[in-house]
């Protein structure tokens, strides 16, 4: 005999993910069973795969057994970080603000996939749980061991939120928007010769200086000239880094919105 468990995806959208998990126990219980595998979630509209979650709310009803949630593989490379522990015989509807981001340390580890596992405590025959997890999907590229995230930039004809014409392609995706994590380094490599005359810059305003905004320079490093060997624009983020958009300093409409 084994516990009778079920999993049901209620929503797997562009940003929102909701899933429901139930168990009617025969006394066996569960031990760190992966319930959410982010590699199986739907990609976003730019074709980028989801590789992390931010938990926004958990609804949990337990009957005579407790439930623990874990981030799988955090801390890396072995072990699992406890997300939350729910006592037996209770009903919880817990919103998390700020979100529970990726893992206990606040940022997703290099080897950690953002998956969520569940364990039961003190399970006996007839015990039950129902758990509903609400989360925001993330699409960051994993950093290398130094914490640096690199993207390859090219310029080609395409249609983005602004124009049909020359636009930035980032890793072959047309002008995707990025949410930068704090205390990371993001490098946009512009060594491809299609970038000639199209220096990538950052602004707190979509479309940057072409929309009345200013170039954002805090923590930004510019190396060589766009379109030449070794060219890149890099930003080292902090807790104070605002939402940023990239744009071409010479031409309108080439970046994200």
Residue pLDDT, tens place only, 36-71: 998 899 987 767 788 778 888 999 999 999 999 888
Q: What is the mean pLDDT of the chain?
A: 87
pLDDT at 144: 64
Residue 81 · residue 104 · CB < 8 Å? yes
pLDDT at 102: 52
pLDDT at 113: 56
C-alpha dihedral (108, 234, 145, 118), degrees to nearest 10: 10
pLDDT at 108: 44
Q: Is the pLDDT of residue 247 over 60?
A: yes
Separation in Å, CA 58 to CA 50, 94, 112, 131:
20, 5, 21, 7
* CA triple 36-41-43, angle to 5 deg: 155
Q: What is the DSSP letter of 242?
A: -
pLDDT tens digits, residue range 177-209? 888 888 889 999 999 999 999 999 999 999 999
Q: Is the pLDDT of residue 161 over 80?
A: yes
Residue 45 · residue 28 · CB < 8 Å? no
Residue 38, helix vs strand vs coil: helix
Q: What is the DSSP letter of 31?
A: S
pLDDT at 166: 97
What is the mean pLDDT of the segment spanning 217-238? 96
Place of tokens 């959208």: 13
Query: Does pTM surpass 0.85?
Result: no
pLDDT at 173: 87
Beta strands in 102-223 (DSSP E): 116-121, 125-138, 148-159, 164-170, 173-174, 185-189, 200-203, 215-216, 220-223
- What is the C-alpha separation between 147 and 183, in angstroms, rounded? 9
Confidence of residue 99 (pLDDT cuts 50, 70, 90): low
**Helices and strands, number each (H, E), in the chain:** 0, 18
Q: Which domains does the chain have, with CATH numbers?
A: 4-138 (2.60.120), 148-248 (no CATH)
Q: Is the pLDDT of residue 241 over 50?
A: yes
pLDDT at 103: 47
pLDDT at 98: 58
| Residue positions counted in the chain | 257
HEC profile of 217-239:
CCCEEEECCCCCCCCEEEEECCC
Confidence of residue 250 (pLDDT cuts 50, 70, 90): very high
- What is the C-alpha separation between 139 and 188, in angstroms, rounded? 16
Tokens of residue 217, six digits: 């320079």
pLDDT tens digits, residue range 100-153? 655 444 444 334 457 889 999 999 999 999 999 998 887 766 666 567 889 999
């Amino acid at each position: 005999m084994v516990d009778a468990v079920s999993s049901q995806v209620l929503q797997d959208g562009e940003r929102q993910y909701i899933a429901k998990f139930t168990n009617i126990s025969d006394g066996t219980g569960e031990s760190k069973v992966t319930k959410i595998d982010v590699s199986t979630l739907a990609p976003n509209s730019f074709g980028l795969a989801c590789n992390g979650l931010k938990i926004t709310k958990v609804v949990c009803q337990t009957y005579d057994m407790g439930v623990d949630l874990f981030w799988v593989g955090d801390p890396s490379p072995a072990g699992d970080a406890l997300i939350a522990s729910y006592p037996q015989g209770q009903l919880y509807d817990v919103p998390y603000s700020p979100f529970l981001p990726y893992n206990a340390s606040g940022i997703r580890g290099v080897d950690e996939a953002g998956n969520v596992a569940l364990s039961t405590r003190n399970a006996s025959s007839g015990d039950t749980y129902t758990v509903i997890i609400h989360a925001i999907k993330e699409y960051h590229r994993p950093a290398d061991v130094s914490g640096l995230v690199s993207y390859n930039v090219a310029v080609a004809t395409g249609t983005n939120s602004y124009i049909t014409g020359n636009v930035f392609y980032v890793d072959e995706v047309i002008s995707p928007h990025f949410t930068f994590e704090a205390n990371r380094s993001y490098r946009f490599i512009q060594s491809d010769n299609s970038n000639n005359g199209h220096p990538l810059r950052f602004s707190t305003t979509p479309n940057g200086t072409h929309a009345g905004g200013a170039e954002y320079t805090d923590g930004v490093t510019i190396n060589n000239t766009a379109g030449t060997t070794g060219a890149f624009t890099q930003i080292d983020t902090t807790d104070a880094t605002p939402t940023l958009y990239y744009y071409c300093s010479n031409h309108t409409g080439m970046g994200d919105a």
